[in-house]
Amino acid sequence: MTLVKFTVFSKIKRRFYKHLWLLRPVFFISLILVATGILIFLIPFIFNLIKQLSKKSNILTSWINPSIVNLDSSRGRTNILLLGIGGGEHPGADLTDSLMLISINLDTVDTVLLSLPRDIWVESFQAKLNTAYHYGEEKKPGKGLILAQSAVSEIINQPIHYAVLLNFSGFEKAVDLISGLDINVPHGFTDNKYPIPGKENVQPESDRYQTVAFSSGLQHMDGATALKYIRSRNAQGEEGTDYARAQRQQRVILAFKDKLFTPRIILNPKKIKALSQIFSESVITNLSSDTYSDLIKLALRINKNNIRTGILDQGSSNEDIPPLLYNPPVSFYGQWVLRPVNNDWQPVFNYIEEIIYQNQ
């Protein structure tokens, strides 16, 4: 009985293979018909989506067109002011702790990161640079970015087309979301007076601070650690200067950019959605939505060879960089401020002009 079943099964199997060549075309034709049917079914929805996108904001044409069409610029460059605030409820929460100019050539994507110390005295409103956003908002909500742009433009003698203000808590969350950053720390340091959030006014004063320390070498940093690295300003020696602090900020910005535009992040819809949510809650900007596609196109083209960095401050004796700024006696302004050497802004203007346009 078993032998009969096996024989019958073998005959059926041989017949099946004998006529398999007839079944294959039928299978592929059926597959093509099904795919065609699905495509025909989806065509109205596709055209409707394209129509809606085109009506909304030229997003479709912007992505297809490789040229930059929506960003304002001067002499071929767009200048964006990046501001960082600590946030919170304590006094001075909206003072800009970090200020950086990002200048991008729209054709070559030659990029300059220029750090500006927060203590520069601004003649036009008789206050430090880091207070511009605060006083603008105090005068009229929404005017903070405008006054900050105007103050920086006065100092560097260059137009500022856009401004972006980032709450550091959002930055911390964003770094954690992309699984941290790998930062090469060239010089280790210890800061015994790093402020503890929420303890700005506690007594005794020593309880307001914690100690943070970084060793030299490649280190993986989560959001909280990266934030301490860029905000520390009370280390002993060279690392306690604005010059070193600005270098650290630039280092972290570049590491964040490199990590953000990896396939693991940019091709992950959940990550992108979460990042969008973080930035929508933590970022204030006057960049319109029409400019976003242009910015992404530029960011994807930028690499480390296109980026140059500069710092406007008191120079560095270790790196043989002459000072452009100095701090006059506190009695002159009633506080510690920075002014141009010899009270002459022209050398500062020349330095900015040279670093931004040296490749044009």
Give the pLDDT band of residue 121 (cuts 50, 70, 90). very high
Q: Is residue 73 part of a domain?
A: no
List all residues 6 or more positions away from 88 whose beta carbon is below 8 Å from its beta carbon. 197, 198
**Residue 68 maps to a domain:** no
Same domain, yes or no: 194 and 53? no
The angle at the Cα of 184, spanning 181 to 189, to the nearest 5 degrees, equals 105
Is residue 35 helix, strand or coil?
helix
Domain annotation covers residue 316: yes
Tens-place pLDDT, residues 288-340: 989 988 988 888 888 777 788 888 876 666 666 678 899 999 999 999 999 99
Residue 85 is assigned to a structural domain of this protein:
yes
- Output 135 or 22, whichever has higher pLDDT: 135
Same domain assignment for residues 36 and 133: no
Which of 2-11, 131-140, 145-154, 300-309 has the least mean pLDDT? 2-11
β-bridge partners, 166? 84, 283
Cβ contact 344:147 at 8 Å: no
* pLDDT value at 2 more than 90: no
Q: How many CA atoms lie within 13 A of 141 on its CB side?
A: 0
Domain range enclosing 175:
80-357
Whole-prediction pTM? 0.76
DSSP 321: B
- Residue 60 predicted with pLDDT over 70: no
Same domain, 184 and 45: no
Q: How many CB atoms sit inside 10 A of residue 6's CB?
A: 10
CA 280 to each of CA 87, 104, 298: distance values in angstroms, whole numbers, following the listed order? 15, 24, 21
Instruction: Please indicate whether residue 257 or residue 82 has the higher confidence score (pLDDT).
Output: 82
Does the pLDDT at position 6 exceed 50? no
CATH number for the domain that contains residue 305: 3.40.630.190
Q: Are 192 and 316 found together in one domain? A: yes
238-265 pLDDT, tens digit per residue, is 888 877 888 898 899 889 988 988 888 8
Same domain for 157 and 87: yes
Q: Identify the band that residue 172 occupies on the pLDDT scale cut at 50, 70 and 90.
A: very high
Residue 21 domain-assigned (yes or no): yes
For residue range 273-285, list pLDDT tens digits in order. 998 899 889 999 9
Give the pLDDT mean for 17-44.
Answer: 49
Average pLDDT, the chain: 82
183 and 130: one domain?
yes
One domain for residues 154 and 16: no
Q: Are residues 290 and 160 in the same domain?
A: yes
Pairing of β 217-221 and β 181-185: antiparallel
Looking at the fold, whether 50 and 114 belong to one and the same domain comes out as no
Residues 240, 353 share a domain: yes
Other residues' Cβ atoms within 10 Å of the Cβ of residue 49 = 12
CA distances from 187 to 215, 225, 306 (A): 7, 16, 25
- Quote the number of domains for the chain: 2
Helix H or strand E encompassing 326: strand 325-326
Closest CA to 78 of 295, 248, 296, 302: 295
Kindly report, residue by residue over 344-360, the tens digit of the pLDDT: 999 999 999 999 998 77
Question: Are 45 and 93 within one domain?
Answer: no
Residue 266 resides in a domain: yes
Helices marked H in 157-231 — which ranges? 168-177, 223-231
Does residue 115 have a pLDDT over 50?
A: yes
- Does one domain contain both 153 and 192? yes
Q: Are the C-beta atoms of 86 and 170 separated by less than 8 Å?
A: no
Q: Is the pLDDT of residue 49 over 60?
A: no
What stretch of H or E contains 250? helix 242-260
In a domain, 72, yes or no: no
State pLDDT tens for residues 188-237.
999 999 988 878 788 888 888 999 999 999 999 999 999 999 989 888 88
d(CA 61, CA 77): 22
- In the structure encoding, which two tokens stand for residue 276, read together? 């969008």
